[in-house]
Structure 1
């Protein structure tokens, strides 16, 4: 059985800024910024813990902590950067307060699906750019999981035109939120655990979170009856382990390679598992009477035009954003030529 190593209620002490040694093992405390009880997250963190432990013969132990245990979620990545926390399980978009370029290393609106994202990341120079950016903040990143398209949000009413978005109070993450704000929506950030209550109380009218399987677990089907697709804002989403430079350098080369290898295995297996889980989740959601909707072609064109405007604005203000986005666009152009000629769809 996969073991989920979760230490709840452990106070943050100075000892967490350095390695803890127990019976000769290097124990690395990993702060999660996502609920680890969610489908896929629980399996991923459990497997990472178990296999790193096993393949290093107990020399390295990854101990995952629930959000807020070691630090406030919004401050987690900053503390890894400062060396106050050894590692984090998160996505690059959580560090976007420092540079909007980090958003592109999490997900790209109207961008790559899972296969294309991995091709750009590992073969198109994306990972080199990513590690260069993170290294400037004292962080070493290891890609560990990539997810398929998210749902595009839960709404209490149908959205038939861009006018229906004006003034709409909605929880929306990342660059997609910037797009909706540009179209007049009132975009707010709320932690996953607070989304359902916020809709119940009327603080927000709509929300996006993640994949159908995760949205179902969160309970969004209980507070909104319209569920929109496709998830144009996050066609794929990358999750990683983030180590402080000191933590990563203290590991042996073999231990570093083991963590990279286990992450690669988790990423590979998650691709198939995630796709299958969404089939089952959508079937469940339909049986609950939720109305599934696809965005109209006109609205998708409106979203895309707004995204291009946001991207142009960010490229003008962030050299790193421009560098990474242009790298992806060059890759996408060549990949698109291959895809159009070689794939049926």
Structure 2
């Protein structure tokens, strides 16, 4: 057992002991899909724990666990739906094995920036559709954080044309991975904590994960040569708390409202905090010898055209995907009228 695993194990034991001493407190153990040491995630989960505890007077306590303590990273949300665990910290895209429509509730390729995504999700019908879909799987979702565009991937060689993607073994998330697969890449799923070691062992040739600040902390700059932008596959990404329906119903209305309110505050702060951290992270990545690249216009056009084909095929195959995607497209068309007249670019 390595040092981090030992620490995580002791924390788990301590949290269970705290549960026993908490009396009437409702202690909800939350399985995280992501390493809790990563920037933004550590801040968000810490604040969620502290403020829910404080504002409920200790009546509700959220105890976050690193991947592997309560559930493997790949199955946190799935185990919430069965009731094996009470709650998870993750993204809707992690539930795509149950229904591809969930992927649209995490991020949309060539889709909205943070402001537009939040406008659709919170005011344009996205949250209602999201909760209807999760309810079918015994889950209640609470939006808690939204992040700006990701990096588009780390590569050992330059990608100058579609031919360079053929046969490339790449860790890639969500609908963007479907696009690259259509272009000949071999998409390999890996939880974030396993990406760097997989590249070191040669199991994968390339990988995308998240923002520069998170990628830097993971150490991706130590196993690649090129870092590509923009992150066309995830122009914004939504993160949520997922509660088993019975766990959520077991809370009072006031306790539920407190969790929703704290999540809204964490989301607000994450928008500014995430943006301000990335320039410094990129500077460190550049100083480490990594070559920063932007996708060529031709490749971006190819990615976008391929995404449109993927979306059309998925809408034809899955009525729930169609319902959510068409809701977003209607909103975007309406929003675009305002955007074209009001924004400088």
Q: TM-score, normalised by structure 2?
A: 0.94
- 2:210 maps to 210
Structure 1 residue runs without a partner (length 5+): 1-5
2:58 paired with 1:58? yes
- 1:230 maps to 230
What is the number of residues matched between the two proteins?
336
Change (3 A) 1:83 1:234: same
Q: CA–CA distance in 1 between the matches of 2:110 and 2:21?
A: 45
Cα deviation, residue 8, structure 1: 2.8
Cα deviation, residue 74, structure 1: 2.1
Change (3 A) 1:317 1:237: same
Deviation readout 1:183-241 (Å, 9 max, x if unpaired): 00011011212211221222111100100000000111011111000000000000000
- 1:146 maps to 146
More helix per residue: 2
Change (3 A) 1:21 1:83: farther
- 1:3 maps to none
Contact 1:120 1:126 in 2 (8 A): yes
Cα deviation, residue 80, structure 1: 0.6
Q: CA–CA distance in 2 between the matches of 1:218 and 1:327?
A: 36
Change (3 A) 1:323 1:303: same
Contact 1:11 1:69 in 2 (8 A): no
Higher mean Cα deviation, 333-342 or 230-239?
333-342
Q: CA–CA distance in 2 between the matches of 1:67 and 1:200?
A: 21
> What secondary structure sits across from 1:231 in the alignment?
coil
- 2:3 maps to none
Q: CA–CA distance in 2 between the matches of 1:62 and 1:327?
A: 33
Q: CA–CA distance in 1 between the matches of 2:341 and 2:112?
A: 17
Contact 2:151 2:208 in 1 (8 A): yes
Structure 1 residue runs of 4 or more that deviate by more than 4 Å after TM superposition: 10-13
Q: CA–CA distance in 1 between the matches of 2:76 and 2:287?
A: 38
Q: CA–CA distance in 1 between the matches of 2:208 and 2:50?
A: 32
> What secondary structure sits across from 1:8 in the alignment?
helix
Structure 2 residue runs without a partner (length 5+): 1-5
Deviation readout 1:218-276 (Å, 9 max, x if unpaired): 11101111100000000000000000110000101000000000000000001000000
> What secondary structure sits across from 2:170 in the alignment?
strand
Spell out the pairing of 1:5-44 with structure 2 (5 A cutoff): 8-9=8-9, 22-44=22-44
Spell out the pairing of 1:259-338 with structure 2 (5 A cutoff): 259-338=259-338
- 1:92 maps to 92
Cα deviation, residue 68, structure 1: 1.2
Q: CA–CA distance in 2 between the matches of 1:96 and 1:23?
A: 38
Q: CA–CA distance in 1 between the matches of 2:252 and 2:181?
A: 46
Higher mean Cα deviation, 211-220 or 332-341?
332-341
Cα deviation, residue 140, structure 1: 0.3
Contact 1:32 1:65 in 2 (8 A): yes
> What secondary structure sits across from 1:120 in the alignment?
helix
Change (3 A) 1:158 1:275: same
Cα deviation, residue 12, structure 1: 9.8
Contact 2:12 2:65 in 1 (8 A): no
Change (3 A) 1:77 1:7: farther
Structural RMSD (CA): 1.8
Cα deviation, residue 73, structure 1: 2.1
